[in-house]
Homo-oligomer: A and B are copies of this chain.
Amino acid sequence: MDRIGVADTMFARYDMGAEAVDELEHCPLHGDRFEIRRRTVPGFKDLGVACKKLIVEEGCAIVVALAMPGRAAIDQVCAHEASQGIMLAQLLTGTHVLEVFVHENEEDDPALLAAVCVDRARKHARNAYWMLYEPEQLTRRAGQGIRQGYEDAGPIATPSL
């Protein structure tokens, strides 16, 4: 049985991990080809090693890492450090970790912010599933301006030569 990991934080103000888990549970091969492993850490700087542990210790073939950087300036620096940790986890293990960060300052309205959380968490959970079992779904959308959290930007036109 394959495993897909979900790593999230207590710091985030929306339970994005639960959204990712629910999305994965509704994927066609859940229970047949893969099961889910979840790990919650205090804050996003703890995600890097949590992802590495999900991969190395729990055998996850791919991980979705979810977090919500706060509004303060220092939070942006910390988000950068957290991203570097997730990047390092990927490169050291040779395994994809899809980073799902929703910055608290993306939306002032909590309802809109929560909607971004739901959409981004679910789309990236689906991306993780595709990367493992249907990679052609991604190639088909190459260069199409696909977004998570918001509507797709779409492609720009091919230059007339």
Contacts and interface: CB of A to CB of B under 8 A. Distances in A.
A111 B157 contact: yes
Interface of A: 8-18, 38-42, 45-46, 48-50, 52-53, 56-57, 68, 70, 74, 76-78, 80-81, 83-85, 87-92, 94-99, 103, 110-111, 113-115, 118, 124, 127, 131, 135, 138-139, 141-148, 153-160
Nearest to A42: B127
19 contacts: A10-B146, A12-B143, A13-B144, A14-B143, A14-B158, A15-B155, A40-B138, A42-B98, A42-B146, A42-B148, A45-B87, A48-B91, A49-B90, A52-B94, A53-B94, A77-B80, A88-B91, A110-B157, A114-B158
A99 B74 CA distance: 14
A159 B96 CA distance: 29
Given A49-B90, A88-B91, A138-B42, A11 B81 contact: no
Contacts of A52: 91, 94
Contact of A10 (B18, B74, B77, B138): B138
Nearest to A142: B40
A94 to B, nearest CB: 5
Contact of A17 (B91, B94, B143): B143
Contact of A84 (B10, B84, B92, B135): B84
Nearest to A145: B13
A156 B14 contact: yes
Give the top 7 A-B pairs by smallest Cβ distance, nearest first: A15-B143, A10-B146, A13-B145, A49-B90, A110-B156, A114-B159, A40-B138
